[in-house]
Structure 1
Amino acid sequence: MWQKFYNRTEAGRLLAARLTEYANRPDVLVLGLPRGGVPVAFEVARVLDVPLDVCLVRKLGVPGHKELAMGAIATGGVRVLNENVVDWLRIPQATIEEVAAIEMRELERRNIAYRGNRPLPKVKNHTIILVDDGIATGATIRAAIPSVSFANATLKQQQPRELVVAVPVAAASTCEELQAEVDKVVCVMMPEDLYAIGIWYENFEQTTDAEVCELLTRQKLTTSNS
């Protein structure tokens, strides 16, 4: 029987305990998926004593059921569709385009809010640990990882040495599918039936922009002083 995480901080610490082989390595970079993935990623980066940054991806939620992903977009014009959801709900292309346009504006806003004038992190020849607070359909994480299925994914052309997807919770079947797309998948809990990420946390309050910015600043200062 799986036990719920108290919050994202606890989930990050438990996840970090499974990533100790990456601790104190100059080639390692942790990338959190805003917003909920950043508190988890912060704990991972803090425990491992490695830098933290963000990988900007936005879920394309089904209108009226935003928690259900019909796809995702990422910086660089990347778009990944969950064809099963699109076909099942018969979502018209016009609706997809409308939602994508809204989410692209939010993606651009977050890029300014979180990164400002700071350059993109160096990925080439680095070991990248991509962290979120959980994986439901997998569309969001697939918009960020290199994959033979989605050749234009954000990190694909940047040639990381190793790409690790690390999350506190994901369906066992999703983890198995992702194994073929990245070098390693690390997951604390892998229930057969996920339902929704939030039910695996006692406290799953929405992370704010201010919290994301604070955590990014704190870990940057920590690693620069270590």
Structure 2
Amino acid sequence: MRFRDHRHAGQELALRLLEWAADGDITNAVVLALPRGGVPVAVEVARALKAPLDVVVARKIGVPGNPETGIGAIAGDDPPVYDRRALQMLGLAEDDLAADVARERAELHRREELYRRGRPALAVEGRTVILVDDGLATGVTARAALRHLRSRNPARLILAVPVCAPDAAEGLQQDADDILCLHGPPSFMAVGEWYEDFAQVSDDEVVSTLSSPGIPSGQRHG
């Protein structure tokens, strides 16, 4: 299975989640996207479920000299979540990454302010939270976001992605109540290879999507 683009992936994901909702497995839901790529996927889910949409901004902490390879991640003001095995293999200590964490934390807060435009975060306590991304590779960013959300006491925490590395999904079983992955190819190499059009999502698209009509606003923290 390959998806035409982010929207198509979101529509396919929404169909599966609608089946869960028809069985009564999803109630009082809120949809939260990991920006930027998760936003055009999540908006299709939110529209289908008639659920409010928001973002959870998480930032990857990369390997020094190879920032695209995630060794950890942060969400909110929570402490970093690290791949301990990778740290050990690379001979790194947390203190070695302090400057990277500080830089990514500043970018995280910049994006939160930009995307929400002064709106507080959606309230999730006691609700079914569906965390959506465009795919799952290492799982480290999703883990940071899931743990951040768990601290806000949702009734149920679901991770929903169109495509995933099977071992990454398995590694998150303790962090989510349910994981929905439409396609878990054993030959997984990168998320983008499972999209015909994997164009980068811009900040402007995230902002416009979050304010688009037809999405319930939902209750927000004051």
Verify same fold: TM over 0.5.
yes
1:43 Cα deviation (Å)?
Answer: 1.2
1:32-74 CA distance string (max 9 Å, x none): 0011111111111122221110011111122333321010001
Aligned twin of 1:143: 144
1:156 Cα deviation (Å)?
Answer: 2.3
Aligned twin of 1:52: 53
Aligned twin of 2:164: 170
For structure 1, the residue ranges without an aligned partner over 5 or more in a row are 146-152
3-state SS of paired residue (1:124) = coil
Which residue identity does 2:28 align to in structure 1? D
1:71-82 matches, within 5 Å, as 71-82=72-83
1:177-222 CA distance string (max 9 Å, x none): 323322111011101232211222122121111000011111xx31
1:94 Cα deviation (Å)?
Answer: 4.5
Which residue identity does 2:162 align to in structure 1? P
For structure 2, the residue ranges without an aligned partner over 5 or more in a row are 218-222
Select 1:4's aligned residue among 2, 5, 11: 2
Select 1:183's aligned residue among 177, 181, 186: 177
Alpha-carbon distance in 1 for matches of 2:102, 2:194: 31
Higher mean displacement: 81-90 or 122-131: 81-90
Q: CA RMSD in A?
A: 2.0
- TM-score, normalization: structure 1? 0.87
1:26 Cα deviation (Å)?
Answer: 6.7
1:1-226 matches, within 5 Å, as 3-20=1-18, 21-22=20-21, 27-145=28-146, 153-218=147-212, 221-224=213-216
Contact 1:72 1:81 in 2 (8 A): yes
Alpha-carbon distance in 2 for matches of 1:56, 1:154: 10
Aligned twin of 1:150: none
3-state SS of paired residue (1:186) = strand
Aligned twin of 2:220: none
Q: Percent identity?
A: 43
- TM-score, normalization: structure 2? 0.89
